[in-house]
Structure 1
């Protein structure tokens, strides 16, 4: 049903054992926000090589690692969405640094990311600029060998713990037509500060908050070698694919938890797993998992090919899987009844985390809109409708 290479299977077996022995017993600690950064979990993950799956020994992006990173993320998310998110953030920043940062800046931050000892933040959104990226007001003005950065970023994952941030800013003025650039900003610099973690319903193990910049001097060498919007879109697409991996992990976990629970619980003279109505619901859950997985792998292949991936496939994968995760985690909670809303059972965490991934990295409605606009640009009278390559 699911085919992977022998080498990949060996790593995935290690990841599965790691999750069962070390992540699952700390699931509640992780959700309380105390386990990811204050235990050896990230160091163990680094020893396995999870943060470095998309980086080769030369410090360059390894395209062959994207699918394997997805596979590991799926497994981990089925035990802890927060821990999967923490590892994905490390890989996202490794991708941005290896793709566009100057070597001296890359070498300053990359080792810590890969070792599980350094943390970054990806800073695009602002209090009044989410999907409308052109509305951002963070501005960087050139001053000698530096840029001076002013502005506020909001809803920044890992912001309260980050040591550096990849920041999107306008150059020189705040007009909608301003040129943009991305900077790697040392958050220990004078004038940079982070707000407290915001209380969210899901992904509680990874803090999210604001970043403030008031006259922060950023060396010119820290400007990334890419036009701001296009470079950040690559990062956003990678984050969207990560959302798909969390979603599939939640559905996978729901299948595992529901099949186990229903197989053990008896009612009306037999195990609930033999009830045709419940079997039908699990069948729909499996179909959602398999169809979402195939679409996501197509999107991953497009991303690995370069150029930030096929936007249509990436958007479709993010939309389809996150909507399915919300629907199927709701079913899972219902199937477990009272146990489904008890924090001792994982299905309630899938339910809460699934709502988050319907919103982050482009809401479901935004992806519906983007895909809807694509429809009119496809020749549906052709023998094979042209989906790939549409941007």
Structure 2
């Protein structure tokens, strides 16, 4: 784990890019934060995730947590002295959030929290966790609360999960709660599901940044290999098939960055961003990164399948971006469903009906 690098990043102010001096969120800095995420991810997506994960927990604290919790956790976390987790996913409930069974049962001025979360960043070392739970019952349609849980509380624990193929070095694992007493006041001051989805939108924009960074590193690695490696008396750079691969990677890189910027710009308005743009940016960039890193491995030949080679690590990291914070298939489905439902109702979804001009019949002639 790269705790020393997170401390260095904190000294540079990278974790507090989106926090004002008085501890409130500054959404206008989302585009700048995305640029930082991309730049770091070109070298280490795991370090970028460590910084972005801290920004996420601090964003939710600053925007929704009561003052006493902001005082307790915000500054130590921004300074990389404490770590916070963002916990939604469960062993039997991933994309199907309504299927989760973690429950917060009211008990006087407290909740009794019981359940488990998995695939949670910082889980083995978390000092606190922002946990989505059903309130009072595990019924599918039960209301939800988002609780800020002190992981030193009796009955709360975290442990490392299975070793992941990508984003290695970033702590990840499980959180367990067995009748943990959490004051009712220690909840995000918004409807729990909506507050966590606000945070998830931010996380998805960062995924577009991880993927864009991987696209850039795949492009640079491919350029270097193509000009350095010779075959049949010429460098690989002279082969049209290699030129086509590199041209496609470059185009995907610019397209991913453009979509990511639009998604980040939408987040600056303070309403959680444009869900459609965010889904597009996350889905397109992660899929493009997987294609690009696959091509980079091909260009590297046998070196590409050496586990310690940079392009092999990029390929494994890129796959992770297609999975977490909503799989590519889920984002495809959500976008397609919205477009089809709007069309069936006699209109167009905003992301379909967004041309800057409308062509008249005369313009078609």
TM-score by length of 2: 0.92
Are the counterparts in 1 of residues 101 and 138 from structure 2 also a CA contact under 8 Å? yes
Are the counterparts in 2 of residues 123 and 166 from structure 1 also a CA contact under 8 Å? yes
CA distance in 1, matches of 2:81, 2:302: 39
The correspondence for 1:313, drawn from 274, 277, 281, is 277
Correspondence 1:369 to 2:317: no
Are the counterparts in 2 of residues 312 and 388 from structure 1 also a CA contact under 8 Å? no
Distance 1:370 1:381, change over 3 A: closer
Question: What secondary structure is seen at the aligned counterpart in 2 of 1:308?
Answer: coil
The correspondence for 1:147, drawn from 92, 108, 111, is 111
Correspondence 1:258 to 2:222: yes
The correspondence for 2:70, drawn from 93, 102, 106, is 106
**Cα displacement string for residues 151-210 of structure 1 (whole angstroms, at most 9, x for unaligned residues):** 111121221111110000111111112111101000110000112332111112112211
CA distance in 1, matches of 2:259, 2:91: 33
After TM superposition, give the deviation of residue 378 of structure 1 in Å. 4.2
Question: What secondary structure is seen at the aligned counterpart in 2 of 1:64?
Answer: helix
Q: Which residue of 1 aligns with 2:27?
A: 63
**Cα displacement string for residues 271-325 of structure 1 (whole angstroms, at most 9, x for unaligned residues):** 3223322111100001101111111111111111121111111111111111111
Are the counterparts in 1 of residues 37 and 48 from structure 2 also a CA contact under 8 Å? yes
Are the counterparts in 1 of residues 225 and 299 from structure 2 also a CA contact under 8 Å? no
Distance 1:383 1:185, change over 3 A: closer
CA distance in 2, matches of 1:264, 1:240: 36
Gap regions ≥5 residues in structure 2: 355-365
The correspondence for 1:246, drawn from 210, 229, 242, is 210
CA distance in 2, matches of 1:170, 1:383: 36
After TM superposition, give the deviation of residue 140 of structure 1 in Å. 0.9
**How many corresponding residue pairs?**
354
Gap regions ≥5 residues in structure 1: 1-33
After TM superposition, give the deviation of residue 379 of structure 1 in Å. 5.3
Q: Which residue of 1 aligns with 2:303?
A: 339
The correspondence for 1:90, drawn from 32, 54, 67, is 54
1:294-333 maps to which residues of 2 (within 5 A)?
294-333=258-297
CA RMSD of aligned residues (A): 2.1
Are the counterparts in 2 of residues 379 and 386 from structure 1 also a CA contact under 8 Å? no
Correspondence 1:387 to 2:354: no
Q: Which residue of 2 aligns with 1:26?
A: none
The correspondence for 1:119, drawn from 79, 83, 86, is 83
**Please, which moves more after superposition, 203-212 or 335-344?**
335-344
Q: Which residue of 2 aligns with 1:31?
A: none
Distance 1:125 1:389, change over 3 A: farther
After TM superposition, give the deviation of residue 348 of structure 1 in Å. 1.0
CA distance in 2, matches of 1:183, 1:108: 15
Are the counterparts in 1 of residues 219 and 292 from structure 2 also a CA contact under 8 Å? no
CA distance in 1, matches of 2:74, 2:197: 20
Correspondence 1:73 to 2:22: no
Question: What secondary structure is seen at the aligned counterpart in 2 of 1:60?
Answer: coil
1:229-244 maps to which residues of 2 (within 5 A)?
229-244=193-208
After TM superposition, give the deviation of residue 77 of structure 1 in Å. 0.7
CA distance in 1, matches of 2:300, 2:46: 22
CA distance in 2, matches of 1:389, 1:95: 32
Correspondence 1:218 to 2:182: yes
Q: Which residue of 1 aligns with 2:363?
A: none
Question: What secondary structure is seen at the aligned counterpart in 2 of 1:193?
Answer: strand
CA distance in 1, matches of 2:19, 2:278: 21
TM-score by length of 1: 0.86
CA distance in 1, matches of 2:51, 2:222: 26
1:2-81 maps to which residues of 2 (within 5 A)?
34=1, 36-37=2-3, 40-81=4-45
Correspondence 1:360 to 2:329: no
After TM superposition, give the deviation of residue 344 of structure 1 in Å. 4.3
Question: What secondary structure is seen at the aligned counterpart in 2 of 1:218?
Answer: strand
Q: Which residue of 2 aligns with 1:207?
A: 171
